[in-house]
Structure 1
């Protein structure tokens, strides 16, 4: 099969060359013709409207005028040299001014000719003028790229603009590329799917996403290309899930034995919620199917995910297997270890912990005990994936806050056993439904949507800077009742760019308001050593300090049931998901808890909406949907380690219906043709084969 010309290096496109090619590669990641074609406009300027000169005003954005050049002259000397032309229509005249490219203007802008002029009108000395306007001859020549009724606008960078690759420059390259190579754009979606959803071809879509003939065709092009993006993500996820289920046999856990029964009937100090029981039942069913379990458990902070994970690990132990639990930070790993040890009361099984601060001597002993099968549950950080860590018989892996681990890190754990262990992923970050389908579409999803009995909803208040004394008074009231308080700041040191209350100033203020020896303050931030952090946190956990002043390092991994107040300074600067996580540090005891959001008086529309949302609801999933609309999927999930969310057009907050259509289509076709062996699905099989070899899906031919 001959390689497509679209695979040609961008350097060889007329008007690019080596220097511009290097910049396009570095600045936009465009290496080939094909990648340029798939670099889409982010908005369009309506070129259907022509303004009369007497309609112009300084408030107008870019305008389009049809007029005749009635005069042209060169003015000034050296660096002050410029060309001024006069454009006239039946209502008046306006000056057009050029300070650069004077030779080109002198040769190509002709007196007496009619032009379509496009630019931003400004007022100088009481008269309107347009600097460096775009000019086109009238009437416009018809080309493959239409008559530019809707002009595309492309993102560019300062470095690219210096080489005339601004939006207009990129548009010229797209025009040339489409005129010469549009016929080479290949279809990627089978005809029967295109017909089902009345979608236009890929060729038509690419042409109309760059140079739409009208709004209707632009909408069709956008819809088709969004579907394509989401369809192929779902195809990859669901096909891989299906392959994994066929390829990887899973350990069978048929026995609910002494450990699970004793823990549930005799040791567990509280009644499980209905949601916890439902999720444990789903895990039980997964481990009896003979295929590898891959399940995501979502649950708000404090919903009882740790108890579910522990009972799942005890189930593995009852069936003769070891289990491990991996957390993203040492603080969180230690928290899990202490929670599990506390729940078990040193009965039934042997639990150990492995982190970066485990000593060499402790490691040696632990490695020997683990390989001998003397450790039933191992809790740890990414230290668990080291080659030296060898299990006797690993049956279940629990991964907490999966999005903080890279794909390869997780895969190393799976390879710790000849038969891959069952995988249970937990997250306390509520994930919007569309994002879960895209990020975790290959996992079965369980939701713990109930809080334990007796937990009271956290009262959330928003206070402004002028109400700070009221906030201090409230802190003193709660501390007098024997409670403890978190105070969280966004920064460690003062930033010149951001006028925020920073941690150091906060400590000074707190020390003045809450002097020793009446009050003790713990301080925790990310620049401290692990040992110092542990000491300060332990002081707070043990009740030896009443106030913990911290940065967001305490977002996860601190469980102090006696802490009843969370104060978040400059709350408008935090994302909704982070605010929700921080709020979840309180409300873990039987007493009423409070979250106080402190902010400046000036709030952006988004900042105001975030704080209003926090005051209005404590439902993590409701909050996550609003967060998705405000911030987009990349910010919510942190690093996009797998490339799954590198979406060019689709918006998970707005395109839920398209995503559902794409997923349903994949489910239907894999039900009928699980191995993609039917002739009509050959395109899709080619796509998956190329994807596995690391070839982009839009190069299918």
Structure 2
């Protein structure tokens, strides 16, 4: 129970109060808190522990064992401080007694503890016990004075995400006095939902998650907070879905003969996956409410063919189509591919990018506005204000995670009615995420590769085997092949220790392959220069192309059969897999060489996972397991609030939350009956169309 003085201080504080107004929080501490994303009292209350130290079991000094972490209740007999003989560091040493039994304690370089440790003080001490020349000794233990309520030792003590000079002990001291305020927080879960799901209120949950009475209370508190996060996410997704399906959208009739004619005109047979995906897309476009579908498949799985069929269907029905790609290189490639596929059907795509000359741009913009042209491919240039469509029926966005939410929505709102929306990605979404981040999206998957595509042989190369790898690359280039070399940075950064593209280009050109033609490509080059250099490589006028991640999506050079990735441990698994899709596009065997710039167990495990896994879908799941749900690409890059407690791999809780959200929407479709819930939706408007 809070003391009268604490109650008086809390009366002047609210959840929105800045941490700078809290007692004892000076500018420096506020700056450290800000590094953790904490600026207000509410942020502190929702700073979730990542684990707990359980020091509740007390071991009498007589029963302490060397080599184990243990906790004892002792009285300090005496404390001394002196410098060590060899390393000259300060040692604070204490003699601790429990009845007649004595144990030592030593702290390194913490001279300030002399002001905290007093003879005769009764403390709980917890840490690893080791054997020293004087007997058993606690080494660098945590301690706390024995009192009516323990905060740090002798309980389940929370261990938080920390930053330099801001420990969990300091965070506990900041958070614990604020916990009475948790009861003043509006509970975003309606009482009906809490009752049906047997969940505690938010005030109780926050008190128990920070300072739990026992393990069961901790687990229930964590469940309560996690369920709320998933419930809000599901509520936003399902509300957006219901609104979309009930709103007027562009309906494009499914003409089976058009689909058959298109498939028959291709120089290859569609895979079963492409046929199924195309049928799903065309069925959606013909339905009520506009389509919102994600087509995912590995690089080279044939997503563009599905988009081309959808574009032709929209064109034949009298509608226009916009295709947006994240880079000029990829936009030009899409235009070339769509031209090949649609030429036989009298549909020619126009191209609008940042480098389009002013005169050509005016002509294209006018042609789209008056309906003379049906298909426009481009980059961000498509969402500029003067680009207007007379009758937009289908929007295709490639690698949609590379665009901001607002950019995607601006393109969709270029039509009088809501156009059909098809997103394509070569970064497959883990199945568990498809229930959350993509709750308002139907998903099509291309899991099989078209005939002629072969798995890429992938090998992790430690620093000491680099010369062997270079000899292999030279041998392959001698046989007529080409190689990509990808680096994570543009300029040298010694602190990170990764080879930048510029430095690597010079090293390969001057030292490793002086007799070969080595080209450089990076994102800071002007568009025209990038195209010229890419063109030289594509024509075979260069043997190696050193690049930054600018070639992550879209670059197609079938004769390039070797992919070298420098500092491979710096990239995510999904990104490495996308890079790997740049090769393996020809009849020749292709290879991916993952150069490690440093060796550590975690980095090696991730790279070996890439080497052993050829499916992007399997890698996406592995990436989620290795990195954890808190670092999932899906959330932050889609503008969603960060998950504090929810585990996106917990499919059972996801399904519970989805069912609860559906039930609440049946009862309150406009989300107006419970104000805290309505306000909570604000954080999801950047992602879902809720209004």
Which interval holds the TM-score relative to the shorter structure?
Answer: 0.7 to 0.9
Quick one: structure 1 residues 312 and 124, their matched pair in 2 at CA, closer, same or farther if it must change by over 3 Å? same
Quick one: structure 1 residues 422 and 483, their matched pair in 2 at CA, closer, same or farther if it must change by over 3 Å? same
Whether 1:656 and 2:666 are equivalent positions in the alignment is no
Q: 1:41 & 1:335 partners in 2: Cα distance? A: 48
Quick one: structure 1 residues 15 and 282, their matched pair in 2 at CA, closer, same or farther if it must change by over 3 Å? same
Q: 1:142 & 1:641 partners in 2: Cα distance? A: 43
Note the 1:523-534 alignment, pairs <5 A.
523-534=520-531
Note the 1:261-276 alignment, pairs <5 A.
262-266=261-265, 268-276=266-274
Q: 1:473 & 1:298 partners in 2: Cα distance? A: 37
Partner of 1:168: 169
Partner of 1:70: 77
Note the 1:244-643 alignment, pairs <5 A.
244-246=244-246, 248-254=247-253, 256=255, 262-266=261-265, 268-345=266-343, 348-503=346-501, 504-505=503-504, 507-509=506-508, 514-516=513-515, 519-599=516-596, 603-633=599-629, 637=633, 640-643=636-639
Partner of 1:154: 160
Greater CA drift, 217-226 or 63-72: 63-72
Q: Deviations over 1:260-309 (max 9, x none)?
A: 5543333x221111111111111111122221111111111111111111
- Deviation (angstroms), 1:407: 1.3
Aligned length: 666
Partner of 2:55: 47
Q: Deviations over 1:358-417 (max 9, x none)?
A: 122221121111112122111111111110111111111101111111111111112212
- Deviation (angstroms), 1:529: 2.7
Quick one: structure 1 residues 611 and 71, their matched pair in 2 at CA, closer, same or farther if it must change by over 3 Å? closer
Q: 1:44 & 1:634 partners in 2: Cα distance? A: 18
Q: 2:152 & 2:25 partners in 1: Cα distance? A: 27
Unpaired segments ≥5 residues, structure 1: 697-701
- Deviation (angstroms), 1:116: 2.2
CA contact (8 A) 1:96 1:133 kept: no
Match of 2:17 among 1, 9, 26: 9
- Deviation (angstroms), 1:27: 3.8
SS at match of 2:640: coil
- Deviation (angstroms), 1:142: 4.7
Quick one: structure 1 residues 19 and 578, their matched pair in 2 at CA, closer, same or farther if it must change by over 3 Å? closer
Quick one: structure 1 residues 36 and 67, their matched pair in 2 at CA, closer, same or farther if it must change by over 3 Å? same
Partner of 1:688: 678
Q: 1:261 & 1:639 partners in 2: Cα distance? A: 39
Q: 1:8 & 1:215 partners in 2: Cα distance? A: 30
- Deviation (angstroms), 1:101: 7.7
Partner of 1:205: 205
SS at match of 2:227: helix
CA contact (8 A) 1:431 1:624 kept: yes
Match of 1:99 among 88, 111, 124: 111
- Deviation (angstroms), 1:620: 0.8
Q: 1:471 & 1:28 partners in 2: Cα distance? A: 42
SS at match of 1:538: helix
CA contact (8 A) 2:509 2:517 kept: no
Q: 1:72 & 1:584 partners in 2: Cα distance? A: 64
- Deviation (angstroms), 1:53: 4.9
Q: Deviations over 1:67-97 (max 9, x none)?
A: 1233468999xxx999976432232143577
Q: CA RMSD in A?
A: 3.6
Partner of 1:88: 97
Q: Deviations over 1:315-348 (max 9, x none)?
A: 1111111101111111211221121123234751
SS at match of 1:419: coil
Partner of 1:37: 45
- Deviation (angstroms), 1:211: 0.8
Quick one: structure 1 residues 130 and 633, their matched pair in 2 at CA, closer, same or farther if it must change by over 3 Å? closer
Q: 2:48 & 2:468 partners in 1: Cα distance? A: 52
SS at match of 1:152: strand
Quick one: structure 1 residues 264 and 544, their matched pair in 2 at CA, closer, same or farther if it must change by over 3 Å? same
Q: 1:471 & 1:30 partners in 2: Cα distance? A: 47
Quick one: structure 1 residues 515 and 182, their matched pair in 2 at CA, closer, same or farther if it must change by over 3 Å? closer
SS at match of 2:636: coil
Unpaired segments ≥5 residues, structure 2: 1-10, 84-88, 687-691
Greater CA drift, 255-264 or 364-373: 255-264
Greater CA drift, 507-516 or 382-391: 507-516
Q: Deviations over 1:600-634 (max 9, x none)?
A: 6x632222222322232211111111111222456
Quick one: structure 1 residues 227 and 582, their matched pair in 2 at CA, closer, same or farther if it must change by over 3 Å? same
CA contact (8 A) 2:240 2:440 kept: yes
When normalised by structure 1's length, the TM-score is 0.85
Q: 1:511 & 1:221 partners in 2: Cα distance? A: 61
Match of 1:116 among 115, 124, 137: 124
